[in-house]
Amino acid sequence: MPGVTAGPAARADYLPFALPDYGPEELAAVREVLESGWVSTGERTHRFESEFARFVGARNAVAVNSGTAALHLALEAIGLDDDDEVITTPYTFAATAEVIRYFRARPVFVDVDPMTLNLDPRLAAAAMTGRTRAILPVHIAGLPCAMDAILELAARAGIAVVEDAAHAFPAKYAGRTIGTLSDFTCFSFYATKPLATGEGGMICTEDDQRAARCRLMALHGISRDAWRRYTTDGNWYYEVIAPGFKYNLTDIAAALGLVQLRRATAMAARRAAIAAVYHAAFDGLDCLQVPSMGQEGDQHAWHLYMLRLRLDRLTVERAEFVSRLRDRGVGVSVHFIPLHLHPYYRDRYGHQPCDFPVAHAEYLREVSLPIYSRMSDTDVDRVTDAVLAVARECRR
């Protein structure tokens, strides 16, 4: 399906690393909101919440204006406090750990599994202390974590699981939909995510009271229940019952979300088809390692295609490999610079690169290839041709 014409990044001689998949339906939906005169949170946001909840099979879905806000509110709802600890992965984006610091709590990093790049549950078990309040796994690239082990560990300790599912929509773990497994699942609808509303996010939870808390805190801690109880006239009355945040989603974003949700299954199928082409093209090469496709019963969301270089079989480092791909007109990226290498976490917690040797080593050889539903077959061929050509040039 032809997309909306993109900005300067979309050139005939250069394939962008990521683009949202917007067509005539999204354009019409946004136009309709603008013409309606109601652009902030309203009927479309409420409809997006209920349709999203139905899609994943969750009891509650609370729409917010970013995935980061979703994580923040989930941790607020469990009452995270100073000096509490949250176990998470260093192999992720900044948002995952910064939300822990919002509470002055401590992100306790544990290393990842070298195959999946997801948090290793055995290391999580070893990192538990009396101050551990939650486990925050990230389904990296859209590949579900070992949720049974994580859920069991949390249940045994009586602590919460908050999933960072920014990459994992739609996804399944052992046949069960991501969004229904743990205390909270937090999705992101950032521009490059599999469902994109520009900026946006969603919290799914089975707990009605905690959903209500998220809803309250997403909009200034304002409760309108009081007027329902005490007043007979007007709906102007409200009470501020906590110092909340300004995290509500706009109806403009929700209108995009409603269309994207209807197209989600088809868009996910396209991403999976691209992953299959890459897998077939690169699997046999000794200088490349293809990403894990997941276990039986898993559905990978393929937000990212994280190729890994076998540096001992190549004459170049990752930086040179990336720059040769870019020279061939293919936009590629690197995911992620592990958080413990960044100045803030390094200095605050005295981390060394070797503290999380798997995350560090895998980062040094990772290259993310373009994978998005707007890519044509020609685009996909262009990527495989470029990767194979660069691999041939640089093979030892």
Ligand X SMILES: *Cc1c(COP(=O)(O)O)cnc(C)c1O
Sequence-distant (6+) residues with CB within 8 A of 9 are 16, 19, 331
By the rule CB under 6 A, 289 interacts with ligand X: no
Question: Which one, of 110, 109, 20, 99, lies nearest residue 67 by Cα?
Answer: 99
The two most distant CA atoms of the chain are separated, in Å, by 80
Looking at the Cβ atoms of 121 and 200, the one nearer to ligand X is 200
> Least Å distance between CB 185 and ligand X?
12
By the rule CB under 6 A, 268 interacts with ligand X: no
Site size for ligand X (CB under 6 A): 14
Torsion of CA 216, 220, 225, 230, to 10 degrees: 160
Q: Tell me which DSSP letter residue 140 carries.
A: G
Q: At what angle do helices 24-36 and 251-262 cross, to 10 degrees?
A: 150
Looking at the Cβ atoms of 93 and 169, the one nearer to ligand X is 93
Distance CA 395, CA 177 (A): 41
Distance CA 208, CA 206 (A): 6
Interface with ligand X by CB under 6 A: which range of 55-63, 66-74, 228-236, 386-394?
66-74
By the rule CB under 6 A, 197 interacts with ligand X: no
Kindly name the residue from 139, 172, 193, 340 that is annotated as catalytic.
193
Stretch 134-153 residues interacting with ligand X (CB under 6 A): 138
Looking at the Cβ atoms of 107 and 201, the one nearer to ligand X is 201
By the rule CB under 6 A, 171 interacts with ligand X: no
By the rule CB under 6 A, 164 interacts with ligand X: yes
> Least Å distance between CB 271 and ligand X?
15
Show the tokens assigned to 269.
């199928």
Interface with ligand X by CB under 6 A: which range of 50-58, 60-68, 227-235, 273-281?
60-68
CA distances from 313 to 333, 359, 391, 395 (A): 21, 20, 10, 6
By the rule CB under 6 A, 52 interacts with ligand X: no
Show the tokens assigned to 262.
């209807």
Distance CA 90, CA 248 (A): 29
> Least Å distance between CB 203 and ligand X?
12
Distance CA 79, CA 353 (A): 32
Looking at the Cβ atoms of 278 and 336, the one nearer to ligand X is 336
Q: Which residue is nearest to ligand X (CB)?
A: 67
> Least Å distance between CB 190 and ligand X?
4
Looking at the Cβ atoms of 133 and 167, the one nearer to ligand X is 167
Count H helices, E strands: the chain?
A: 14, 14
Strand partners, 330: 15
CB 29 within 8 A of CB 256: yes
Stretch 82-111 residues interacting with ligand X (CB under 6 A): 92-93, 95-96
By the rule CB under 6 A, 45 interacts with ligand X: no
Q: Which residue of 74, 147, 151, 166 would you call a contact of ligand X, by CB under 6 A?
A: 166
Whether residue 193 lies in the annotated active site: yes
Q: How far apart are the first and last CA of the chain?
A: 41
> Least Å distance between CB 162 and ligand X?
11
Stretch 292-311 residues interacting with ligand X (CB under 6 A): none
The residues that touch ligand X, with contacts defined as CB under 6 A, are: 66-68, 92-93, 95-96, 138, 164, 166-167, 188, 190, 201
Active site residues: 193
